[in-house]
Structure 1
Amino acid sequence: MDIEFDQPIFVISVAAELADMHPQTLRQYDRLGIVSPSRAPGKSRRYSQRDVTMLREVQRLSQEGVSLEGIRRILQLENQVAALQRRVTELTEELGRRRQPLDARVFAAGTAGDVVSLARGKRPRPRSQALVVWRPRTPE
């Protein structure tokens, strides 16, 4: 039976033992927002394997002399970077799905702000002061 990395299954005593910490330290980290476990229906803390891994990272940083506020900020920035990397991946995949049809179209913006889709090589009608936006093809 495989346990999911994010499945909140460990009670505080087990998580503390796995992270080689005192349960009170885990409570303090929770209060400070450094590692925030899930809550079971009775309000008891439940830690996942991801939480235990994060606790070990907090312990390592602390032993290197990083303050708790510094650790909190480092973890916050790491989470932000991971979220941004996921978003870049999503947008790259979306662009890959759309690339083919977009290469075949050109858009023109008229003086009134209207946007017109044009076939490649065509100009807006009637002849106007429209700005045509295009991108030269790159060799594949």
Structure 2
Amino acid sequence: METSPVPGGGRGEVSAVAERPLYAISVAAELAGTAAQNLRVYEREGLVRPARTDGGTRRYSDSDVTRLQRIVVLLDAGLNLAGIAMVLDLEAQNDELRAELGALPRTTGAEHT
């Protein structure tokens, strides 16, 4: 199965299926536990980037919904949108560094003597 990083600072690797835009804004909002107008604000602030149909309708993927749920948790913890953007960026950087570290060849301590 093909994988790609979550756009905009998600957590780890996700399957291409998780990136498929499926949900209308009202469904995504319900799944994330927030209101549709909040999703518009999050998009305007660059926290989420839903796909668009040819007619311009927003479509959210499973990974978008997961990201929205993370945003809701961070809001509930008292962060503002600017703080949430920073947290999401740092989480994405952390995930990238972990992936790079995991790709490095493993060595034993004996080789460094």
Q: Identify the TM-score tier after normalising by the shorter chain.
A: 0.7 to 0.9
Higher Rg of the two aligned structures: 1
Shift of residue 83, structure 1, vs aligned partner: 1.8
* Structure 1, unpaired ranges of 5+: 100-136
| TM-score of the aligned structures, taking structure 1 as reference length | 0.60
- Aligned: 1:39 with 2:12: no
**Which residue number corresponds to residue 138 of structure 1?**
111
Q: What is the alpha-carbon distance in structure 2 between the residues aligned to residue 54 and residue 88 of structure 1?
A: 24
CA RMSD of aligned residues (A): 2.2
Q: What is the alpha-carbon distance in structure 1 between the residues aligned to residue 92 and residue 24 of structure 2?
A: 24
SS in 2 for 1:4: helix
| TM-score of the aligned structures, taking structure 2 as reference length | 0.73
**What do the CA deviations read for 1:38-63 (whole angstroms, capped 9, x no partner)?**
22222221111111111111111111
**What do the CA deviations read for 1:21-76 (whole angstroms, capped 9, x no partner)?**
11110000000011221222222211111111111111111111111100011001
**Which residue number corresponds to residue 111 of structure 1?**
none
**Which residue number corresponds to residue 81 of structure 1?**
94
Higher helix share: 2
Comparing 64-73 with 41-50, greater Cα deviation is found at 41-50
Q: What is the alpha-carbon distance in structure 1 between the residues aligned to residue 102 and residue 54 of structure 2?
A: 36
* Structure 2, unpaired ranges of 5+: 1-15
Question: Number of aligned pairs?
Answer: 95
